[in-house]
Amino acid sequence: MGVAVRRAHVIIGAVLLVAACSSNRDARPSDGRPEPAATSEPAATSDGSAETTDGSTVPASDPTGSTGATGSTAPPSSTPSTPPSSAAPATTTVTGTAVAGSAGAVETAGPPFAGTDPFAEAVRLSDGTCVGWAGSQGGSTLGLAAGAPVTVLDAVDNVEIGTGTIQASRWEDMSAGGEQWNCMFDFTATVTGAPAEFRIRVGPLGPWTARPDPAGPTRFVASVSTNASVGLISSCPAITDADTTASTVATTVAAAVVPTSAPPLVTGWNAAGQYWSRGVQSLCGLGLPVTAIARPCRPAGAGSEYITAVVDSDDPTVTYANGVGVPLGTELTVVVATGRLCG
């Protein structure tokens, strides 16, 4: 009887194996993926043990058997999972100064600031501090003052990378007696990373680019740049290309027909060392048109927004000192310093 049962089990197992193989051959791998290798489980015996390949049995309570075979379940991985990093990005505290040009009287009362030059970027106050103002014709600087919030932006894409505050303000004669006044607004901010340069936006103003200060590379300096434009000065309208061409043609024709004397020389003008708007007015009011404003860094001893040189627009190597004779109608370029010190 035992032999007959065992043979029955063998025959049934063979039938099941053939059926499984037939099923595998009929499968259609429609997604192109390889079929998994077929596996066969040992047939169960009547006492609950599993039959091994050599005909012996393994007790159900010992799935590995005395032969040392391993179970079908892989052991858990010994490599620990790495949790996502929760460390905050490194930050840096930066300090610097926003430099604004100022001209005119020291003010003792609030706005309107009647004694300040209409194009000044900031107002000097009698307590030694400075403030921005809405009245600047070069562009409003209202809100520029101690305590104002500062937003720090990436120098390339203007994404916010930090915040800070204007800590204090003061005014200073950069020319040591020449009355070239600057208003200095000191700021501190905390930024992500350690940027080589960045932009700052004070309240709704700016942004202005801040770069390392040549006088102290651990600090940054930004120029509060409003619009210094020839077209803003009524006595000195901008010269267009058409005007220049027409003037040149007319002069050429006149010279070919009738000999002309040299134009008179203009003297008594005063522009170098003056706030840009006052210097331009001085030149244009005497018949010396200003056609351009050059904007380099600030040389030592000069104030931001003050004229450092007057040159011939056709030949910038020709420089004119204050008051010297310049032929009437000569087109000039004024060199106006920005807030950043040259280094």
Q: What is the pLDDT of residue 297?
A: 95
Q: Which of 167, 191, 223 is the last residue of a domain?
A: 223
Residue burial 22-56, b: 16+ Cβ < 10 Å; e: rest: eeeeeeeeeeeeeeeeeeeeeeeeeeebbbeeeee
d(CA 308, CA 334) in angstroms, rounded, equals 8
Q: Is residue 27 situated within a structural domain?
A: no
Other Cβ atoms within 10 Å of 213 Cβ, number: 19
Q: What is the pLDDT of residue 60?
A: 45
Q: What is the pLDDT of residue 217?
A: 84
With tokens 């040591």, the residue in question is: 176
d(CA 325, CA 184) in angstroms, rounded, equals 37
Q: Is residue 46 situated within a structural domain?
A: no
Q: Is residue 290 situated within a structural domain?
A: yes
Check whether residue 124 and residue 218 sit in a common domain: yes
- Element spanning 8, H or E: helix 2-26
Q: What is the pLDDT of residue 63?
A: 42
Pairing of strands 216-223, 91-102: parallel
Residue burial 298-328, b: 16+ Cβ < 10 Å; e: rest: beeebbbbbbbbbbbbeeeeeebebeeebee
Task: Tell me the one-letter amino acid at 327.
Answer: P
Confidence of residue 6 (pLDDT cuts 50, 70, 90): very low
Residue with the bigger pLDDT between 116 and 236: it is 116
pLDDT tens across 113-160, in order?
999 999 999 999 999 999 999 999 999 999 999 999 999 999 999 999
Q: Answer for the pair 288, 332: CB distance below 8 angstroms, yes or no.
A: yes
Q: Is residue 329 situated within a structural domain?
A: yes
Residue with the bigger pLDDT between 241 and 288: it is 288
Number of domains making up the chain: 2
Task: Tell me the one-letter amino acid at 163.
Answer: T
- Range of lowest pLDDT (29-33, 109-113, 188-192, 197-201): 29-33
Q: What is the pLDDT of residue 1?
A: 44
Check whether residue 286 and residue 164 sit in a common domain: no
Confidence of residue 240 (pLDDT cuts 50, 70, 90): low
Q: What is the pLDDT of residue 109?
A: 85
Work out the average pLDDT over 1-13.
39
Q: Which of 176, 194, 223 is the last residue of a domain?
A: 223
Check whether residue 332 and residue 218 sit in a common domain: no
pLDDT tens across 9-61, in order?
433 343 333 333 333 333 333 333 344 444 444 444 434 433 434 444 444 44
For the chain, count helices (H), then strands (E).
Answer: 3, 16
Check whether residue 152 and residue 190 sit in a common domain: yes
Check whether residue 97 and residue 218 sit in a common domain: yes
pLDDT tens across 73-114, in order?
445 545 555 555 566 679 999 999 999 999 999 999 889 999
Look at residue 275 and tell me whether its pLDDT is greater than 50.
yes
Check whether residue 318 and residue 261 sit in a common domain: yes
Check whether residue 163 and residue 98 sit in a common domain: yes
Check whether residue 262 and residue 328 sit in a common domain: yes
User: Between the CA of residue 145 and those of 50, 113, 129, 184, 203, what are the distances in Å?
Assistant: 88, 15, 9, 10, 10
pLDDT tens across 202-233, in order?
998 989 999 999 988 899 999 998 999 999 99
d(CA 196, CA 194) in angstroms, rounded, equals 7
| Cis amide leading into 195 (omega within 30) | no
DSSP β-bridge partners for residue 171: 183
Burial class of 221 by CB neighbour count within 10 A (0 to 12, 13 to 18, 19+): buried
Q: Is residue 103 situated within a structural domain?
A: yes
Check whether residue 215 and residue 311 sit in a common domain: no
Check whether residue 203 and residue 246 sit in a common domain: no
Check whether residue 217 and residue 238 sit in a common domain: no
Burial class of 140 by CB neighbour count within 10 A (0 to 12, 13 to 18, 19+): middle
d(CA 129, CA 140) in angstroms, rounded, equals 18
Q: Is residue 41 situated within a structural domain?
A: no
- Give me the DSSP letters along 221-233: EEE------GGG-
Sign for the CA dihedral angle at 98, 290, 314, 241 comes to: positive
Check whether residue 198 and residue 236 sit in a common domain: no
Q: Is residue 239 situated within a structural domain?
A: yes
**Residue range(s) defining the domain that contains residue 294:** 230-336
Q: Is residue 124 situated within a structural domain?
A: yes
Q: Which of 192, 223, 254 is the last residue of a domain?
A: 223
